[in-house]
Amino acid sequence: MDRVSVVTDIRQANQNAAHENRKVFDKCGSCVINLMSAPGAGKTSVLEATIREIAPSFKVAVIEGDLETTFDSDRIRAMGVPAHQITTGSVCHLDARMVAKALAVFPPDGADLVVIENVGNLVCPAEFNLGEDLRVMVFSVVEGADKPKKYPLMFHTSDVVLLNKIDLLPYSGVALSELLRNVVEVNPRAAIFPISCRTGEGMEGWIGWLTQELKTRSRQALSTLKT
C-alpha cells in the first residue's frame, strides 16, 4: 500500500469516527467547539474566562488534550466544571477516535456546550475533524502579523479567530491592523475578536457572539424535537 493510500485510509477512518461522535453530541443536545491554538497562545486562560461569563446560563463540559500532565483539566475542574483529560503522549493533535474513547467514559449528558481543547500546535489539529460544530482558534498577537499567511490552514478552517494578548501589543512591535488584514485575507468568513483574557478587553464581543450562537442552536434543537 502506497503512502497516498495510507493517508486516505487514516482520514477516512477519522471521518467515520467524527460522524459517530456527531451522533453522540446531537443526542446530548450539545454544541461542540474544537478549541485550537499554538502552544502558549492562552487557550486555557481564554477558556476559563469564557466559562466564568457563560456558566451561569449554560452548562459546560470540557475535554482536554495534552501531550502530558493533567494541568489544564485540573484548572477546569477547579472551576466546578466537569473535565476529562486525554493524554496523547507524542501525538501533536487530537483525532476523532481519541474523542470517541473519551465519550465512552465521559458522556456530555445535559451539557449545552462541550469544549474540546486541542493539543497546542499551529498546524496538525486543523487537519482532523472531531465531530465539532464550530472551530475556534486562539492566536497570540505577539506571535506576529505574518503567521496567518505562513501557517494558513488553522486560520482558514476556523469559524472564530480570537486574537489574544492585545494588552501586549505596545511591547510586541506587531501592528493589529496588519494582523487583522492578513487573517481576513486567509479567511474572510471568520468572526474575529481582538481580546485580552487577562484584562477582559474585547471579551464582551466574543461572549456575546457565543451566547447568541448557543441560544440559536438551542432554539433549533427544540424546534427539531417538536417536529
Q: What is the mean pLDDT of residues 120-141?
A: 97
- Chain centroid, CA 56 distance in Å: 21
The model scores a pTM over 0.85: yes
CB of 132 closer than 8 Å to CB of 116: yes
Strand ranges for 21-132 from DSSP E: 31-37, 60-66, 83-87, 113-117
Average pLDDT along the chain: 94
Domain residue extents for the chain: 3-226
221 confidence band (pLDDT: 50, 70, 90): low
Examine the pLDDT at 226 and tell me if it is beyond 90: no
- Chain centroid, CA 174 distance in Å: 24
Q: How many alpha carbons lie under 13 Å from residue 14 in its C-beta half-sphere?
A: 18
Examine the pLDDT at 105 and tell me if it is beyond 90: yes
Q: Which cell is 164 given?
A: 489574544
Examine the pLDDT at 38 and tell me if it is beyond 80: yes
In the prediction, which pLDDT does 11 show?
A: 87
| Portion of the chain with pLDDT greater than 70, in percent | 93
Examine the pLDDT at 3 and tell me if it is beyond 90: no
Q: Is 38 left (phi over 0), alpha (psi -120 to 50) or beta?
A: beta
Give the residue carrying C-alpha cell 479567511: 187
* 216-219, Cβ contacts within 8 angstroms, sequence gap of 24 or more: 217/31, 217/133, 218/29, 218/112
Examine the pLDDT at 4 and tell me if it is beyond 90: no
Examine the pLDDT at 161 and tell me if it is beyond 60: yes
Q: Which of 168, 161, 160 is nearest to 198 (CA)?
A: 168
Please list the residues that pair with 75 across neighbouring strands: none
In the prediction, which pLDDT does 220 show?
A: 73
Examine the pLDDT at 35 and tell me if it is beyond 80: yes
Instruction: Kindly report, residue by residue over 41-71, the tens digit of the pLDDT.
Output: 999 999 999 999 999 999 999 999 999 999 9
Cα angle 120, 97, 17 (rounded to 5 degrees) comes to 120
In the prediction, which pLDDT does 222 show?
A: 59
2 confidence band (pLDDT: 50, 70, 90): low
The CATH homologous superfamily to which domain 3-226 belongs is P-loop containing nucleotide triphosphate hydrolases (3.40.50.300)
Examine the pLDDT at 5 and tell me if it is beyond 60: no
Q: What is the mean pLDDT of residues 116-144?
A: 97
